[in-house]
Structure 1
């Protein structure tokens, strides 16, 4: 397994590894204005929400690795203390990508990208009409992480107003993740689309028995994955002996026990059955099957 000391890597190589490893990263399409009121628009994937009370986001316009120059967004944010962070969905990908080109400071990327300016309500920089969610922000602080190429500049922003498109509001309140159709950045030129089969839900855990309490013959299974063990460890109690004995009467289990003598082959066959039950969310049923194997008790 290759390992690296960051100090021994060239900045460009360290940059590639870190950006490839940490992702998907959400994208902030940041609109600002300069001292003359000229809008600037540029995307940043060093970005996230860090607090809901106070509502705070941070994005980072890093110094360019190539020549250690800084970006117009950073200059504008430091001087004007106002930004709009526009969320990026799949329909905006190519226009957002175009806005990331290094146009001269006096060029309005709204015009170059074809995105539509909409006046903000609390601050001066405009927001992007096509964005499903726009966040008007005041810049509370800018923290420089260094003076060399690749160094970040944390722009800490407090959200003043949230604008959401009608079609992304869910019936239960909040936002509909399918309707949002968000995208994120990976390493190199790779992006990812958060929709369709890429989306799944994970229930909030209860205080379960934990993986450490799973019998070794199950924990060391060659069939069950870490995800399977996580589900088993989330159980708050194990089935009793009576429930396990009743499970042996299931037709498929009876046939399995006739086909395999007690030992490794039977254990693996039971693990295969349990795995399918776990895939369907039937954790207690999976436990009953697993505990039929005497080595697990």
Structure 2
């Protein structure tokens, strides 16, 4: 009887078209995935893939075998996961992508309690300002805002992503406070260049009365990371616009001042993103529930 590892390696390789991509999903090396598939082919007595240096494609026998497996692999994985969860604690590598500022300020402080509760889980956290492909890159969870919900990916809201204008008391000393978003043009601006567009990000602010106005910061300092923008603002280099969770602690401490308190930008939500699978690994499920509960509180 074939082992689950061999069948998983075959199915994930067929779905992704690559041993390397399948390896990331399965937390294995590409060599291990290739070996598992080779063992499966040897035991079945047929070639399942046509291999080249650039492409991995199913043979006719491989297509038939994949179709015959259907959803049975997911059902088998679900049964095994259920038994494993009942027998012991969630375990394994938990690969997560999250934005550096939000991750360091709000997610890392949750880690001690999480690991105390689930000591067999091994975090592998990637701090990066980009939208990852969860399935192709083998992430269990991604955290961020504005992700495109590709097929097979679902989201769970954590917090609102309001954008505020802030500056340090040192910068504001002796300067006239802005009364309207258009007044921000009179100040030194710390701005961000979008990674995907390559353009300076511009924000449209609104107030509770429903009025809207453009916040046109001067691009005196251009950075590509929210943490760097926050640090520049703390150093008194100008006014910047950042998501509320990235500056809430500094505002509470008085290290940054919220400008235009009646105005903000609606940037959607900060959410958890994860593959929608019939089988969700126990490690992923408990992490999602733990984080959602923490932010709920």
Is TM > 0.5 for Structure 1 vs Structure 2? no
TM-score bracket for the superposition, by shorter chain length: under 0.3
Relative contact order (alpha carbons < 8 A, sep ≥ 6): 1 or 2 greater? 2
Query: TM-score, length-normalised on structure 1?
Result: 0.27
- The structure whose residues are more often helix, as a share, is 2
Query: TM-score, length-normalised on structure 2?
Result: 0.27
